[in-house]
Amino acid sequence: MDHFTIKYAIVAMLFFLMIAKYDIHMFQLASYRNSRYFRWLAPNNIISIKRLFAVAMLAAAFIPGYFGSSFATGVTAAAWFYCFSEKFKTPLVYTMRVKRLFATNIILFAIIATLAVLFAGTWAMAIIGAALVFSNFIMLLANIVNTPIEKAINRHYYNDAKRIIESNRNLIVIGVTGSFGKTSTKNYLASVLAEKYNVLVTPGNFNTLLGVIRTIREHLRPYHQVFIVEMGAKQTNDIKEICDLVHPTIGIVTAVGEMHLETFKTVENIQNTKFELINSLPADGLGVINNDSQYISNYNGITSQCKLIRYAVEGNGEYKASDVKYGANGVSFTLNGGEQFNSRLLGAGNLLNILAATAVADHLGVPVNKQKNAIARLQPVEHRLSMKVSNGITVLDDAYNSNPQGAKMALGVLKGFTVAQGNKRIVITPGFVEMGTRQAEANKELGRTIAESCDYAIVVNATNRDAIKSGIDEGGMSEENYFLADSLNHAHARLAQILKAGDVVLYENDLPDNFK
């Protein structure tokens, strides 16, 4: 047995740990879905040039009698740094599932390396190198191996969460879903209801079935009176699965848009999925829906006999905002022509979210004066059209908004900002993803809206560059007023060159790390 081969196998194992971390990170960003991971993987990442370079350097360092071990160590470290030292906006979350996936990855690679060393002879180094190059598929194999284990664990967690929910018999469960606006609505509603009730909300983006299960098991207590559950969906029946667990009696649908068309295929599928919440409500339940959303107002598939309340800013509804006035301190409006409310929040989208919260608060008996106080104290959800002013520069952070309707609202806010002569309204955006065949047209429309709304635009990354540029050009913005950046760092470098006190900057959407 060649001692050089054994040394190579040991160092390759250490190198594999670094590569596996990257592979699993990308898999996590793809929501652990093989189909989404393959869309990222093909065609450019199946055989990565950087990975080939790193593995080639590793192999060359171990050619017998050619390089020393110190050189091997240095080359391996340099190759790893070159290939896998990239910093990510969204770090890898070391959940128990990730740890189990790591362990299975290591075992599979160790089996391959051991068999190669024992039986492959002169081909051993080539086989181990190939395993490093194609480690993506080892990771996918590890996921297949772990699937029965994950299903058994999830089934145990589900049954435990179901037991906890059923033991809280007087708990009021409120579901909140929508293509956008659900996180803000959830938080605003929690603030208003907290004036009267002990409220639990699903934290952060815990809007999947497993996220809801985790919230129930770790946070739900007998003293909670209201449980507000954000419900997200990537495919049909996702929301129904959550409803079957928590059995909501109140449901809010904030909007229906063309997000996730890659998985839903049609807008009708998105409509049906979002309305799984309303159709799960009992006859004595309450459904609260946004009548300004086209695909909500025209939906005729409601089967539940629950009471329905529609809310609107532009259209008609039982809860209607009028006399809307924006100013330096936020917005004021009258509800149904009566009570006046004030809020620090910006944009029609936030106003709609407030209306949904007031409708539920009235239903649950929260006094109007307490509602007003809570709404006046509301703070923007971070990265959802939140505003900060520093050194004379106003930053509108809408980085977590990833849909065309929300982007149009945010650009409307940017357009409405008054700036002094010589100052600029600037937008930085990578556009929208996961919109299937509608993606190119939606990003082209974004470009046209940008041309109408701001003085300078920075388009980030190559994913939607051509479509956005085409729309900007059609909108009449000159080439000197927009910049095509390769990355967010590149965009910030350009921003630093043109930014000055008095400017307003809108960050519109922020693609995840597996989109470049």
Check whether domain 168-377 has CATH 2.40.50.100, yes or no: no
Decide: 165 and 171 in contact? Cβ < 8 Å: yes
Question: Which pair of tokens denotes residue 71?
Answer: 């050189």
pLDDT given for residue 249 in this prediction: 98
Higher pLDDT, 411 or 56: 411
Residue 44 has pLDDT above 70, yes or no: no
pLDDT given for residue 264 in this prediction: 82
What's the rounded mean pLDDT across residues 308-313?
96
Residue 28 has a CB neighbour count (10 Å cut-off) of: 20
What's the rounded mean pLDDT across residues 397-413?
82
Decide: 252 and 360 in contact? Cβ < 8 Å: yes
Tell which residue, 311, 326, 413, has the closest CA to residue 360.
Answer: 311
Of 170-174, 274-278, 365-369, 390-394, where does mean pLDDT reach its minimum? 390-394
Amino acid at 375: I
Tell which residue, 350, 341, 404, 397, has the closest CA to residue 374.
Answer: 341
User: Which one-letter DSSP state was computed for residue 380?
Assistant: P
Write out the DSSP string of 312-375.
ESSS--SEEEEEEEEETTEEEEEETTTEEEEES--HHHHHHHHHHHHHHHHHTT--HHHHHHHH
Amino acid at 468: I
Tens of pLDDT along 99-148?
Answer: 999 999 999 999 998 998 888 887 887 888 888 888 888 999 999 999 99
pLDDT given for residue 479 in this prediction: 92
SS3 (DSSP) at 399? coil
Higher pLDDT, 88 or 343: 343
Tens of pLDDT along 476-489?
Answer: 999 999 999 988 88
> Among positive and negative, which fits the CA dihedral 360, 361, 363, 369?
negative
Domain edges within the chain: 3-148, 168-377, 386-508
Question: Which pair of tokens denotes residue 286?
Answer: 């309450």
Amino acid at 404: P
* pLDDT band per the 50, 70, 90 thresholds, residue 87: low
What's the rounded mean pLDDT across residues 410-423?
86
pLDDT given for residue 328 in this prediction: 57
pLDDT given for residue 216 in this prediction: 97
Residue 127: phi, psi to the nearest 5?
Answer: -65, -45
Tens of pLDDT along 449-476?
Answer: 999 999 999 999 788 899 999 999 999 9
Tens of pLDDT along 162-195?
Answer: 999 999 989 999 999 998 889 989 999 999 999 9
pLDDT given for residue 510 in this prediction: 75
Question: Which pair of tokens denotes residue 329?
Answer: 């301190």
Fold of 386-508: Protein-Tyrosine Phosphatase; Chain A (3.90.190)
pLDDT given for residue 33 in this prediction: 80
Q: What is the C-alpha separation between 304 and 313, in angstroms, rounded?
A: 25
pLDDT given for residue 57 in this prediction: 64
What's the mean per-residue pLDDT of the chain?
86
